[in-house]
Amino acid sequence: MSTFGARLRSAMDERGPLCAGIDPHAGLLTAWGLPETVEGLRSFALGAAEALGPVTAAVKPQSAFFERFGAAGVAVLEETIRICREAGALVVLDVKRGDIGSTAQAYADAYLDQSSPIAADAITASPYLGFGSLDPMIETARKNDAGVFVLALTSNPEGPQFQHASGADGRTVAQTVLDSLRDANTGESPLGSFGAVVGATIEDPTVALDINGPLLVPGIGAQGGTADDVRRIFDGVLHLVLPSSSREILGAGPDTAALRAAVESTAASFAALVR
């Protein structure tokens, strides 16, 4: 199996640069006419996986919306991951894990070791115990041709308190994270496997975003992010951008054709930015 970065580059080139979220929160279950039960969760998640998996470059299930149903919900998440991967989409499992030592390794084993029943192609991770705390995830990803997307510049209003703070060397925390990812991706081609999460609705960044790896950009659509925002924020590194949209696309469901049309339209609008 080739590296996650190489697989993602190929998928983005072939299917368009888009990561479609699968977020089965209560409002969307209701909108699809489904009950807020494990059965409703399963109908929603598998319906979305079967519709989106064959047409989008990547799919991003939000683990929390499955976990809230307990063990049965996690079983649905495992099935959702399997369906998406079998359909050719890369799965970025949105878990935002961050811990130290053996606990960080256990998270890595759960989600990145490809022998695990819940293994994905990549996960999201939090670096706020220090970037070095993610070393078990980075190394396990390397061994398994998987990837890690690390929070760097998020759109939530509380984020700047941490992300814009400066360290002793004068760099912001966000820049330190981005520099560490660039180091992790050194020499990788056509794309590194270690990416940053950068929101689509942030102000103009004052950091260097070229990390030789993917930039996962949530906040597209229902959260207000547009193609114009992406052009403004990521000028010069648009080829690295993997926009992520969840509610905007899922709102077209449950009709399979409508979901796929939403994916194809959204992906085309971002593909046009790099032509």
pLDDT recorded at residue 202: 86
Q: Say how many residues make up the chain.
A: 275
The active-site residue out of 25, 82, 96, 247 is 96
Domains of the chain: 4-274 (3.20.20.70)
Question: How confident is the prediction along the chain (275 residues), in pLDDT tens digits per residue?
Answer: 799 999 999 999 999 999 999 999 999 999 999 999 999 999 999 999 999 999 999 999 999 999 999 999 999 999 999 999 999 999 999 999 999 999 999 999 999 999 999 999 999 999 999 999 999 999 999 999 999 999 999 988 899 999 999 999 999 999 999 999 999 999 999 999 999 999 998 887 788 999 999 999 998 876 778 888 899 899 999 999 999 999 999 999 999 999 999 999 999 999 999 87
Q: With beta carbons less than 8 A apart as the criterion, state whether 179 and 207 touch.
A: no
pLDDT recorded at residue 220: 84
User: Do you find a cis peptide bond into 218, omega within 30 degrees of 0?
Assistant: no
Instruction: Say whether 60 is catalytic.
Output: no
Q: With beta carbons less than 8 A apart as the criterion, state whether 22 and 80 touch.
A: yes
Q: What are the backbone dihedrals phi and psi of residue 128, each rounded to the nearest 5 degrees, phi first?
A: -85, 10
